[in-house]
Chains A and B, each alone.
Chain A
Amino acid sequence: MDGEIAALPAERGPSAQAVTLTINGEPRPLRIEPRVSLLDALREHLGLTGSKKGCDQGTCGACTVWVDGRRALACLTLAVTCEGHEVTTIEGLSAGGELHPMQAAFIDKDAFQCGYCTPGQIMSAVALLDEGHAADDGQIREWMSGNICRCAAYPNIRAAIRAVRDAAGGE
């Protein structure tokens, strides 16, 4: 081995820095390294464990949150890039202890089993209605396909989305 290289100090990335994220409407100051994902910032630094880690690779949707109201995969988003943006997580969905209609519909239609994909499914499902992508089952199936449910509650997830859509007067 080259002695000169061996003598170099160990590899170090940029160190932790102060960031203030806005999560569910509240400013949350924290110190994190730039490489920390939004998902790990939420789960490991802020104690907001409602957003789940299923793959950490952008393939399962368990970490779905909203950034400025749009669906985003928190595992593929660096937390420091969210400064100045509004992040909404499952913990921010039900105001004042009342379940959001989508949360209630998921319980009513038994749209989950283990529940691990569920926060991500619900964040996607609510966004889907806002996006206007729930006109029929074909649309729901396509636009919900970024969220894997290994328990395969899919037909019941569709039923929950239909129930909320129809109660809101359709699209």
Chain B
Amino acid sequence: MSGVIGQAVSRIDGPAKVTGSAHYSGEIALPGLAYAEIVGARVASGRITSIDTAQAEDAEGVAGILTHLNMPKVNNVPLLPSLIGGPAPGETFFPMQDDVVHYAGQPVAIVVADGLEQAQHAATLVQISYAETPSITTIDQGRADAYEPEKIFGGLMPAQTRRGNVEDGFAAADLLIDAPFRFAANHHNPIEALTTTAVWDGDQLTLYDSCQGIKAVQLTVAALLGLSPSKIRVLTRYVGGAFGAKAMVWPHVTLTALAAQYVRRPVRLALPRGQMFTSCGHREEQEQHIELGATSDGKLTAIRHHKISITSPFDDWAEPAFGVASQLYACPGFEGVHRLVRGNTMTPTFTRGPGEAVGVFTLECAMDELASELGIDPIELRLRNITDVDPNTGHPWSSYGLRECFERGARRFGWAGRNPQPRSERHGNWLIGTGMATAGYPIAFFMHTQRARAHLYADGTAIVQTATQEFGTGTSTVMTQVAADGLGIGLRDVRFEFGDTDLPNAGSPVGSNGAMMVSAAVHNAATAVRDQLITLAVSDSQSPLHGADPAGVVVAGGRMTLAGDANTGETYSSLMQRHIMSDAEAIGSWDPPPLDTPHGLLTFGAQFARVAVDADLGIIRVRHMVGAFAPGRVLNPKTARSQLMGGMLWGMSQALLEGTHMDTRHGRWANASLGDYLVPVNADAPDVDVELIEVEDHVTGPLGVKGVGEIGQVGAAAAIANAVYHATGYRVRELPIAVEHLLAHLPSGPASAAAGAQPDLT
């Protein structure tokens, strides 16, 4: 009501973050703190034949060492994505329960010492011998035994998506596109490593944990240790980035709790950067194969989209690749199939834009190819195929906006008048190309009841609380705005309190659902308090509002007035003081619509990119990116833009930089450091323009918020890959795109004459 929703408010956590006074999980001062270091398995498969901790135990400062020989047994807990709101272990396997090694880096010992350096040193003194067995760590090694799982994604999604009849669709097609793609594994690498501090007080456990969902941590550790959740409190305010790495609760959290119990002191574990590659999941290595059938006027008749990827020995995990890819276009026939290979890696996990960032890449590169083959402008081709209803269900979208995204994005980018001919623009030695792609991201109503508490004092200030945490999305700022708006008071009069599992329940903000679900609960709490006081005022004979229709009362600046008559009214304070009330309070709750709600549920967008490719060396520079998105209602354009921009640059990175490569001789990641695993630095990042298109949505909660966390990434890599084709005339079908892919296909390269020919993937 107070108009603060939609304002570009600067982050309220800004002063703490720019002065270094914001405390992250590893920065809580605790008396008697000891430091833990995990020893990871050196081999990828086999058994531990002997483990000798004597030398390590004798090292200075060592307080205790746990291995499978003395580690307490934990309960088996099924893998369920944290968005459900229950226990959410990242893998069903829990380490140090026996002598079997399933993957390199699997924790086999945990060393605790007085000092950090002492723990690090003692960890190197633990002597372990292994009986190594052959490992499978790539798709190629396990392809012969690939299987089709029943369900993927922690049992949440079917492994197949089908509609219509693809064979009929291909028979009716005038043109076929057949494109195989391969994708390297990716690691999230938030700059703050996963860090846990565990403190026991009798049978009460307090955890300070760098996570995406404190409730998920509480429930997971409780389930594993067989403790009541009421005995566990998780305190986490600021998290140094997550991107999916902290969405599930990984074994090191519970290991730290067990280590603290063992040494009877508070224990902190901060994963070293190298262990970040074997401790918190990854985007799995995968291949996707897409076939499109289309009529000569560009109408899709069939899509067949298959994926094969590698998972752990214990879990059928695949990022679901065909959510958005099956929904963007009104193609009558669709077939999506996930296949898996079991390998010696840990269970993969959510990585920004899980599944969709890769599935949409494949679809949108194939669409670009189709546009080239048909001589139709890429945007026009999409416009001929987009649909006002979800093609899988026939339900209308809860809100749409895709046409406006194409229009506004194209205008901002300067798409009109583009010469579709590859290699048609050259500046000096740079081949210039432009590309575009459609973006989409699902809205998933898997969460449980969301709750928040609003507490208004008689001086007109408020505290609003919920058990969420700030990992850079801007939630603490945005929820302050939502609370101020709902209460009808100023931003400065609200303190938003979060980061404590003792506060009312909020789910893990994953899958771009944070702003939607948390704002719904905060809004409902704030307006419940407002409505209590309006009800009191209109029934109070001493109030100027006495007898008024409560629906006709508005609140701004802490003052309740008649709508359209600002002179008739009074402040919350005067009402509360007259009634000798020191405060008013309400819990607001929100339940998502049922999963079978009759609406198509996606957020939409359009991506554009301009690249320059060195005509001799194949070096690729992204010059400019434009994204236009329709995320429902925008609560704060400043923070929303930043999240979308970050997502788009993740898409740039997905296209050109990121790949973790397996050394199959040892079954270990070969580039497990920030020096070898490339992420963008400032010089890699082009300027990014973000267009926000607000669309009204009456399904996604009281404020009509969709989400901005992932959609920025979806489609961005495809726009860049399509631009690389436009610049060079060559389609690279492997990510990340590297100089090596292009060298033979540049103007001065040996295959120059064949530019535009199909690549040879062998």
Contacts and interface: CB of A to CB of B under 8 A. Distances in A.
Interface in B636-688: 638-639, 641-643, 645-646, 649-650, 653, 673-675, 679-683, 685-688
Interface string A91-134: 10110000100011011101011111111001000000000000
Contact of A54 (B117, B242, B273, B472): B273
Given A103-B18, A103-B19, A155 B685 contact: yes
Chain A, interface size category, equals 35 or more
A91 B17 contact: no
Given A10-B55, A33-B117, A55-B673, A148 B191 contact: yes
Interface stretch (B21-29, B294-302, B751-759): B21-29
A35 B117 CA distance: 8
Contacts of B121: 13
Interface stretch (B6-14, B168-176, B586-594): B6-14
Contacts of B191: 52, 54, 60, 62, 114, 116-117, 148-150
B190 A150 contact: yes
B682 A112 contact: no
Interface in B599-639: 638-639
Contacts of A90: 18-20
A106 B189 CA distance: 23
Contacts of A153: 642, 645-646
A74 interface: no
Nearest to B688: A155
B681 A145 contact: yes
A148 B159 CA distance: 37
A35 B682 CA distance: 32
A114 B240 contact: yes
A71 interface: no
B428 interface: no
B195 to A, nearest CB: 9
B272 interface: yes
B345 interface: no
B673 A52 contact: no
Query: Most chain-A Cβ atoms within 10 A of its Cβ — which of B22, B238, B240, B641?
Result: B240
A126 to B, nearest CB: 11
A154 B273 contact: no
Nearest to B689: A155
Contacts of A56: 272-273
Contacts of A142: 682-683
Contacts of B18: 90, 99, 103-104, 106-107, 112, 115, 118-119, 122
Contacts of B189: 150
B682 A145 contact: yes
Contacts of A119: 18, 20
Contact of B116 (A44, A54, A55): A44
A70 interface: no
B16 to A, nearest CB: 8
Contacts of A108: 10
B243 A152 contact: no
Contacts of A145: 681-683
B117 A115 contact: no
Contact of B11 (A49, A50, A52, A110): A110
Nearest to A107: B14
B168 to A, nearest CB: 44
Interface in B377-418: none
Interface in A54-107: 54-60, 62, 89-91, 93-94, 99, 103-104, 106-107
A162 B709 CA distance: 27
Contacts of B238: 114-115
Interface in B107-139: 115-117, 121, 125
Interface in A1-51: 10-13, 33, 35-36, 40, 43-44, 47-51
Nearest to A158: B682
B257 interface: no
A107 B10 contact: yes
A58 B273 CA distance: 11
Interface in B541-593: none
B716 to A, nearest CB: 11
Contact of B673 (A36, A57, A94, A151): A57
B103 interface: no
B19 A50 contact: yes
A25 B238 CA distance: 29
Contacts of B202: none
B237 to A, nearest CB: 11
Contacts of A51: 20
Chain B, interface size category, equals 35 or more
B374 interface: no
Nearest to A122: B18
A154 B681 CA distance: 8
B60 to A, nearest CB: 6
B428 to A, nearest CB: 16
Contact of B117 (A36, A43, A48, A94): A36
Contacts of B272: 56
B697 interface: no
A93 B20 CA distance: 10
Contacts of B273: 54-57, 59
A10 B60 contact: yes
B239 interface: yes
Interface string B247-285: 000000000000000000000001011000000000000
A10 B59 contact: yes
B15 interface: yes
A44 B17 CA distance: 19
B58 A54 contact: no
Interface in B155-210: 189-193
A116 B681 CA distance: 15
Given A49-B23, A153-B642, A110 B117 contact: no
Contacts of B89: none
A151 B472 contact: yes
Query: Most chain-B Cβ atoms within 10 A of its Cβ — which of A47, A106, A155?
Result: A155
Given A49-B20, A54-B674, A60-B674, A151 B646 contact: yes
B313 to A, nearest CB: 30
Contact of A94 (B19, B639, B679): B19
A50 B20 contact: yes
A165 interface: no
B682 A55 contact: no
A113 B19 contact: no
Nearest to A51: B20
B593 to A, nearest CB: 30
B239 A57 contact: no
A74 to B, nearest CB: 12
Nearest to B238: A115
Given A52-B191, A145-B682, A114 B241 contact: yes
B17 A118 contact: yes
A86 B552 CA distance: 64
Given A53-B26, A115-B17, 10 more contacts: A58-B675, A99-B18, A114-B191, A114-B242, A115-B472, A141-B682, A142-B683, A144-B681, A147-B681, A151-B646
* Interface pairs A-B: 4 shortest CB-CB: A50-B20, A116-B240, A114-B472, A115-B17
27 contacts: A10-B60, A12-B60, A36-B117, A48-B20, A49-B24, A49-B26, A49-B27, A54-B192, A59-B674, A93-B19, A107-B10, A110-B10, A112-B11, A112-B472, A113-B241, A113-B473, A116-B192, A119-B18, A140-B682, A144-B681, A146-B681, A150-B243, A150-B679, A152-B649, A152-B650, A153-B646, A154-B681
Interface of A: 10-13, 33, 35-36, 40, 43-44, 47-60, 62, 89-91, 93-94, 99, 103-104, 106-108, 110, 112-119, 122, 140-142, 144-158
